[in-house]
Amino acid sequence: MTDVTRPDFTALDLDAIAGLTGRIAVLAGEGGSMDKAARRINRLMKGALARFLDSEAFAKLEEGEAVSLGWPAGLAAEAVDVVKIGKRLTPDAARKVGATLGAKRGTGDVTVFAGSQKNLDALALALILRSYSFTAHKSGEAATPKTGAVTLMVNQPEAWSPLVDEVMAVAEGVTMTRDLVNAPANVLTTTEFAARASELKDMGLKIEVLDEAALDALGMRALLAVGQGSESPSSVVVMEWAGGGEEAPLALVGKGVVFDTGGISIKPAAGMEDMTMDMGGAGVVTGVMKTVAMRKARANVVGLIGLVENMPDGKAQRPGDIVTTMKGDTVEVINTDAEGRMVLCDVLWYAQERFKPAGIVDLATLTGACVIALGHENAGVFSNDDSFCKAFLKAAESEEEGAWRMPLGPAYDKQLESAKADFKHVGGRPAGAITAAQFLQRFIKDDVPWIHLDIAGVADVKQATALAPKGATGWGVRALNRLIAETCEH
Which residues have a catalytic role annotated?
267, 341
- Cα–Cα distance, 308 to 302 (Å, whole number): 20
Q: Are strands 460-461 and 471-472 parallel, antiparallel or unpaired?
A: antiparallel
- Residue 256 three-state SS: strand
Closest CA to 82 of 41, 118, 116: 41
* Cα 88 → chain centroid: 28
* Cα 344 → chain centroid: 19
- Cα–Cα distance, 130 to 171 (Å, whole number): 10
Closest CA to 68 of 85, 56, 84, 54: 84
Alpha carbon of 109 to those of 104, 141, 149, 225: distances in Å? Answer: 11, 17, 5, 50
Cβ contact 170:481 at 8 Å: yes
Closest CA to 113 of 93, 91, 83: 83
- Residue 270 three-state SS: coil
